[in-house]
Homo-oligomer: A and B are copies of this chain.
Amino acid sequence: MSPSSYNSKSDFVEAFSLKIEELGHPRIYGQILGWLLICDPPHQSFPNLMENLDISKASVSNVTRMLLERGLIEKVRIKGERQIYFKLKEGSVIDFMQKQLRLALDLEEITSKGLEFLSKEKDTDSKRLEKANDFHRFLAEQSENLIKKYKADHDL
């Protein structure tokens, strides 16, 4: 179905950032992450990012701050250089997905508290919520296990 690849780094960055944007992040958020996955060298300065992604200085400042706060990138200082460089943090790809998987845990909690309330009411049908809760607990536990296993198998 998709045997074709991209024709430029920009194509990759665009596809990648569009997907990240679907999750509710700013477009530039995914652009920077995507670029840092393939750029050469792996660390990039303000001007590097501005030019290659065609974004403003303010955007670099704002979005790198977000990414730093979330622990997805880190600053790199180079001896004798004034500029700041940014690079992907080790394990950022895993961390990013792990955050997505928290959804199951959050919904487990919410449905669990909902069940607790329903149990105090009379004449309620809690079957639907019980099923939902059960499934979310399963998924939260098992996906957590998956990540653990992956990390263990890859010395992280």
**Chain A contacts to B: CB under 8 angstroms:** 2, 4-9, 11-12, 15-16, 19, 22-24, 36-38, 40-42, 88, 93-94, 97, 100, 103-104, 106-107, 109-111, 113-114, 116-118, 120, 123-126, 128-129, 131-132, 135-136, 138-139, 142-143, 146, 150
Residues of B within 8 A of A124 (CB): 38, 40
A111 to B2, CA, bound (A): 12
A107 to B, closest residue via Cβ: B19
User: Shortest CB–CB separation between residue A90 and chain B, in angstroms?
Assistant: 10
Residues of B within 8 A of A125 (CB): 40-42
A37-B129, A132-B37 known; A114-B24 Cβ under 8 A: no
